[in-house]
Amino acid sequence: MPTIKKLLLLLILCSFISVSAQTKNDSLPPKIYNPQADAKVELAKAVKLADSSNKNVLIQIGGNWCPWCLRLHQFCKNSFVIDSTLKSSYIFALVNYSKENKNEDILAQLGYPQRFHFPVWVILDRSGKVVHIQDTGLFEAGKGYGEEKIMSVLKNWTIEAMDPKTYQKKK
């Protein structure tokens, strides 16, 4: 009889562990990076679209293995002000970095943004030139992200913000 009680106790314990693990994994946002994507092709499309729509390109580099990468993407998507600014002023692209596909040649072309860890943002002008690399760790506020910090960067790297005519006095 004591063996049956031990077995029953072990089964109950395993059930709790299983439910706990499922709950932890369910709290992460969905996977967004595609390790099989051809980053060169994707970025060329983004630059072409940016040029035709008079916007800059914002690239988020990271991987599905990175909880902060997934959280930042979800945070920006869930914030009306950030999401609308991204859609109105940028062409957004994701570049995967993982053991399956490190995209090292693209990262070299972009100025080695991985030095800031992941996720990292790279902003390209409409011709594809790197104009800014952003350490997204600076966006963190407590256990999440700060909307004001993100918006400050987004506002400062739009086409309009980078245009010298924006700051010239009108006669």
Q: Which CATH number fits domain 39-167: 3.40.640.10, 3.40.30.10, 3.40.470.10, 3.40.1050.10?
A: 3.40.30.10
d(C-alpha 55, C-alpha 160), whole Å: 9
pLDDT per residue of the chain (171 residues) written in tens, 0 to 9? 566 766 555 556 555 554 444 444 556 678 999 999 999 999 999 999 999 999 999 999 999 999 999 999 999 999 999 999 999 999 999 999 999 999 999 999 999 999 999 999 999 999 999 999 999 999 999 888 999 999 999 999 999 999 999 888 766
* Reported pTM: 0.82
Residue by residue, DSSP assigns 62-89 as E-TT-HHHHHHHHHHHH-HHHHHHHHHH
Q: CA gyration radius for the chain?
A: 21
